[in-house]
A = this chain, B = another copy of it.
Amino acid sequence: MLDLSNTQGLLMRIDFEKLDGLVPVIAQDYKTGKVLQLAFMNQEAWEKTLAEKKACYFSRSRNKLWTKGESSGHFQIVKEILVDCDNDSILLKVKQIGKAACHDGYASCFYKKIEKGKETIVEEKVFDPNKVYGEKK
């Protein structure tokens, strides 16, 4: 069980200045090592993630906090938190609920491979986005 007690003092260590209040955050499957997603956190999202042990990001498109899974139920349970040398990037090792991180229905958002002059989809769809988010998505 991830113990994040007394982490408050560490909040100052994350460098949110370089990207106007944001840091990039990698979500990686804690068992398989698959990279699931790249998203951003502001300080509030970071604190909420530490408090709830579920990944919370800052949505640049919606300009608000976004607990991953709040619409889909596909939460990311935080199993491990790593910070990089410069304190300006975060790596979350997570248990991905629903087996899919991507709103397009794939396990990983990185489902397009570039090779031989084209993009090829290299993952199978895990869910139908229309069913999870509604037809208007």
Q: Taking beta carbons and an 8 Å cutoff, which residues of A are in contact with B?
A: 2-7, 9-10, 13, 18-19, 24, 26, 28, 32-35, 37-38, 60, 80-86, 89, 91, 102-104, 106, 109-119, 122
A102 to B117 alpha-carbon distance, docked (Å): 31
Known: A9-B117, A10-B119, A91-B110. A37 touches B2 (CB 8 A): no
Contact of A37 among B84, B111, B122 (CB under 8 A): B84
A25 to B89 alpha-carbon distance, docked (Å): 11
Please determine whether A102 and B115 come into contact, CB atoms closer than 8 angstroms.
no
- For A6, the chain B residues whose CB sits under 8 A away are 116-117
A35 to B33 alpha-carbon distance, docked (Å): 8
Please determine whether B24 and A113 come into contact, CB atoms closer than 8 angstroms.
no
Please determine whether B84 and A115 come into contact, CB atoms closer than 8 angstroms.
no
